[in-house]
Amino acid sequence: MRGLMPAHHEASTDTSAATALDLGAAQEALAAGDAGLCIRLAEPLLSRPEQAEAARGLLAAAHERLSEQQAAAGEHALALQHYRLFHRFHVEGLLQRLARSEGENDRGLTDALTGLATREALELRLPSMMQQALGNGRGLCLVRIELDPLQPARLGLSPGLGDAVLREIGALLRAHSRAKDLALRYAGETLVLVLSEIELAMARQACERIRRAVQGHDWAPLHEELRVSLSMGLTALRSGDTPELLLARAEAGLVSARRDGRNCVRTGVLS
């Protein structure tokens, strides 16, 4: 019975009910076309953990609508302000969902051989990394990396040697990547590196450091004659890119690296 409930429980119940009402009112305001009222109702809910994600989504939608309305009215400065707020809340929501997904799926997103992320991690994280880079204007580059045929050529037939080389390359790539980058095994002997907050010239230098590190690594413990090298295709994010287009341009760079004799870095250009 209500009379037997502790006072703190009653307060908690009342707060939850009020929060639910506030969220419902914000949703109704947005549905009715009153984006300004939606924002006023939703902003206080950001401080309530149980409602913050839903409030963030409402704020993103409301600011997007106001941006469109202001642009149509010729108020481009106001439209830009609302668009930036839309982008902020939208990206924050994506990052929150990503962090939750990573916590739930870490085991399934790590390649057992190389210790790098898997292709599934790229599909999950690349769109939000691209959106964040376009939002903050700090750049993003993607590199497709391919293990060149082992030298001498006869070593390519040695059982288990290819896996051992990939394991070492995985460790080298992790050592030369930053926490904000994404290094992964894409398929077979092909790897991908997504470099955050970097422009093309600096990304090329990072690629050259990795290429030289692999070439100069001590491979003798695996085989005294072994020589290993990488070919790389590099591209920088552009406005209007999709993940598929970004990967395709990097693949074009990798094709150029193969054509130019391998063991080099080439920038991808699509004809």
Active site residues: 189
What is the torsional sign of CA 143, 146, 147, 153? negative
**Environment class of 158 (CB within 10 Å of its CB; exposed 0-12, middle 13-18, buried 19+):** middle
Report the DSSP beta bridge partners of residue 195: 141
Report the DSSP beta bridge partners of residue 232: 145, 265
For residue 183, give the 3-state DSSP assignment.
strand
Q: What is the DSSP letter of 26?
A: H
Of the candidates 202, 184, 206, the one whose C-alpha atom is nearest the C-alpha of residue 193 is 184
Report the DSSP beta bridge partners of residue 146: 190, 231
SS3 percent helix, strand, coil of the chain, rounded to 5, is 60, 15, 25
